[in-house]
Structure 1
Amino acid sequence: MATLVATPRSRALGFGLRHAREARGLGVRELARLAQVVAQDVSSWESGLRVPKLEQLGVLFGALRVAPPERARLVELARNAREPNWLERSMPGISPALSTYVEYERTATEMVNWEPLLVPGLLQAPGYAEAIMRAHRLPPRMVEREVAIRLRRREVLTRHDPLVLKLFLGEEALRRSIADPAAMAEQLRLLVRAAQPRTSSIRVVPANVGYHPGQAGHFVIFDFAHLPSVVHIEHLRGSAHLYDGDHVAAFRAAAETLSDLALSEQESLALIQGVITGLE
């Protein structure tokens, strides 16, 4: 049976291999020569289109000097690469779950994001992000690192070929006092600045629209130029990556419902500006 290509696990495996290669300062052709394979094999493995055999992984680990804990993680991904969906637990520090999510942001062409209660990390201002991190009781050094990661992630919206962001934001996310009034106003002003008609659509779903599928929780749909779409959802102790067609179709339908319920971009920005005025 052929291995499913570009599943969430196979892509995460590819992300890990590429990170290890770049950490060693090797090019694709150099690694291919060391592993005695063709460069196209390395490229296919790193993109998640194909999955190396376990014996090939062993050769790659030796050439890349991959540490034992990371070897174990990548081997687990390779062994279960056929699975279409993936529940991933968070780990201390910069977790593989976060690394995978950031890679989806970096490689996607379009991202549909529904956030009922919070401004998403991609658009969080420093003061807002710090308040969230402090609520998790993280030490100051880790808070600084997490905020820095958020700021770097935002580069996907301003690069030469920017990620197209379609953000649906629950009205409660605007009004919930996550941080002090000054930090909340800073956060909402950032949302206004981030809204760009061609690349970053920000629309608010009013609180009084009644029940809708989005009330089941946040989700993100990542679309890619040449790979299948992936849906990302989170819970308290980890995250899930959904890949099979039925799951993706259900979340697309939910996004269409949110689009029908949401204010227009102009109305949304006017509402955000009104909340800012109330904070100042």
Structure 2
Amino acid sequence: MPPPFATPRARALGFGMKKARLARNLKVRELGRLTDLLPQNISNWENGRRVPKIEELAMILGALRVGPAERARLFNLARYANDPNWLHQAVLDGPTMLTTYVSYEQAAAGMAGWSPALVPGMLQTPAYTRAIFAGTAHPRSHVENVVMVRLARREMLIGRNPLPCRLLVGEAALHQNIGGPAVMAEQLRYLCSRMQLRNVSVRIVPDGIGYHPGHYGPFIIFDYADLPPIVYLEHYRSNGYLYDDPNVADYRKAIETLSSLALSHQDSAQLIEAVIAELAA
């Protein structure tokens, strides 16, 4: 049986290799000449289609003068790159995991997600994001980095090739007192503005409708033009990436179930506007 193709760790390894190469302002062919490795192999490793041998990875990281901590991280990814799923114990918005997540997002051809209690990160205002972190131990510099990353992620929704984005949001997210009424009102107004984009679908799943698969927590399905889809799971102190077909199929069913329970686009917008009016009263 052939090894899994473009697994979550294989792609994360490729993201790291490409980032290291770009940090040295090298093209793939130039790196190939430096290491005596085929450029086509390097390209396949960087996009996660193949996994380099440890000695090949060592040659690349040595040529790129990658530091010890990042070398250790990439070697660990390579050792377990054929595992189909990936549960990572880490600070959710730590620099490494945040960069990895954004890399998955940037490479995607489309995404569908469920957010039961918070406005999705890509659609958050700076004040809302800062309010989320207000009760944490994260230093201010880290919080501001997260804010800047989330602002940059907005650009994927506009421009020449905007990312198709289908988001289902729990009604509870509209009523959280995050940052106070003014911050919540600003956030919901921005959410309404993003709902006007042709490539963005935001629909609200109402409270009080009984059991549904969304009760187990938030998730995102990333689809790619020429690679298998990946499901991203977000937990308080960890996150995970699922790759194998049965898991992906189950999460697609969950998205369809939540879609069947969600309000229409128009009714969702009206509900959000009503909550904004309540906050202003």
TM-score (ref. length: structure 1) = 0.97
Partner of residue 204, structure 2: 204
Give the drift of 1:137: 2.9
1:55 maps to amino acid: E
Aligned to 1:102: 102
Tell me which amino acid in the other structure corresponds to 1:156: M
Report Cα offsets for 1:136-190 as digits up to 9, x if no partner: 1322222222111110111111131111110000000001111111110110011
Cα offset for 1:271? 0.6
Give the partner amino acid of 1:7: T
Using the TM superposition, give the Cα deviation of residue 91 of structure 1 relative to its aligned residue in structure 2, in angstroms.
Answer: 4.7
C-alpha change, 1:180 and 1:93, in structure 2 (3 Å) is closer
Which residue in the other structure is 1:61 paired with?
Answer: 61
Q: Aligned pairs, how many?
A: 280
**In the TM superposition, what is the alpha-carbon distance from 1:236 to its structure 2 partner?**
1.7
Structure 1: 5+ residue stretches without partners: none
* Conserved 8 A contact 2:92-2:239: no
1:104 Cα offset (Å): 1.1
User: Which residue is equivalent to 1:273?
Assistant: 273
Letter of the aligned partner of 2:126 in structure 1? P
Q: 1:241 to 1:272 in 2, by over 3 A?
A: same
Q: Deviations over 1:50-106 (max 9, x none)?
A: 001111011101111011111111111111111000011225984322111101110
Q: In the alignment, is residue 118 of structure 1 matched against residue 86 of structure 2? A: no
Please tell me the residue identity of whatever aligns with 2:112. Answer: V
Q: Any idea what SS the aligned residue of 2:134 has?
A: helix
Report the Cα offset of residue 197 of structure 1. Answer: 5.3
2:248 equivalent in structure 1: 248
SS in 2 for 1:135: coil
Gaps of 5+ in 2: none
Is residue 85–residue 240 contact of structure 1 (8 Å, CA) maintained in 2?
yes
Secondary structure class of the residue paired with 2:161: coil
Q: CA separation of 1:153/1:119 partners in 2, compared to 1, >3 Å: closer, same or farther?
A: same
Q: Output aligned runs, 1:5-154, within 5 Å.
A: 5-91=5-91, 94-154=94-154
The question of 1:180 aligning with 2:207 is answered: no
Tell me the TM-score normalised to structure 2 length: 0.96
* In 2: Cα distance, 1:91 partner to 1:135 partner: 15
8 Å CA contact 1:114, 1:168 repeated in 2: yes
- The secondary structure found in structure 2 opposite 1:161 is coil
Deviations 1:3-39 (Å, cap 9, x if unpaired)?
3221000000000000000111111111111111221
